Amino acid sequence: MLTEKKREFIEFMMASDVLRFGHFITKSGRNTPYFINTGNYRTGAQMARLGIYYAQLVKETIDGDFDALFGPAYKGIPLVVTCSVALYRDFGLDKPYFFNRKEAKDHGEGGSIIGCKVWDGDRVALIEDVITAGTAVREVMPLLKACADVRVEHMFISVDRCEVGTMPGKTSIQEVEEEFGLHVHPIVTVEDIHAYLKEQHTDPDLLRAMEDYMAQYCILADRS
C-alpha cells in the first residue's frame, strides 16, 4: 500500500537523483527501466533526511533490540553512519556501528573492519541500499562471522526490487532470508514506485516499461 511516508521517500529519492528512470543494466545483467544509486546523495541535508527514513524503519521494526549496526563498503558506510546519528538524535538510541574496508590495511590498526568491536552473541543489524541478486549479502556474512559469532537477523534497505533470484518462485530477498535467517525490511518496494508513477499519471511508455519489467523479473506481494 502506497502510504504518505512511502510517497514522500520516493519523491525524495527522485529529487536527489537517486531514483532514476531510463535504460540501465543491473548487477545481475538485466535491462531495467529504473535504477537506484544511493551514491548520488551528495549533501548534508540529503544525508540527514535519509538517516531519518532508515532510523524510523529500524525503530518501528526492532526498536532498540540490537547491539550494533553494520554498513557494507562502500555505499553502506554513509548509510550506517547517518542511520546511527538519526537513531540517537530522534529516538535516544545510542547504538555503536561498524563497517568494512574493501582492502585489508597492513599498517596502523590493520585489518578490514572499522568502528565498534562485536562479541559472540551480539545482534547486528545490516544497513544497505538495495538487494538485486543478493551477492553483497553473501559477501558480507562470512566477514561478519569472522569478527565474532554474531547474530544477524535484520537488514534494512531503501528499495526491495522484488526480483526473482536463482530459484523459480522466489525473490533474491527471499533466498537471502532463507539462507541466512534474515528478515529484510525495505523502506519502499518496486510496487510502491509503480503505484506512485500511476498516481502521478506518468508517461505511459515508462509505465509500460515498468510493468513489462515487473512481469518478467519480479515476484509481487499479491502473488497467490
Residues 70, 76, 80, 83, Cα dihedral to 10°: -140
Strand partners, 125: 69, 154
Cell of 145: 562471522
State yes or no: is 105 an active-site residue: yes
Distance CA 216, CA 195 (A): 18
Catalytic residue (choose from 27, 105, 145, 198): 105
State yes or no: is 201 an active-site residue: no
Grouping H, G, I as helix, E, B as strand and the rest as coil, residue 138 is helix
What ranges in the chain are assigned the alpha helix state H?
Answer: 4-15, 44-62, 76-91, 135-147, 172-180, 190-199, 204-217
Contact residues for 73 (Cβ-Cβ < 8 A; gap 6+): 99, 100, 101, 102
Grouping H, G, I as helix, E, B as strand and the rest as coil, residue 87 is helix
Cβ atoms of 86 and 80 within 8 Å: the answer is no
Cell of 188: 519502499
Q: Which residues are catalytic?
A: 105, 107
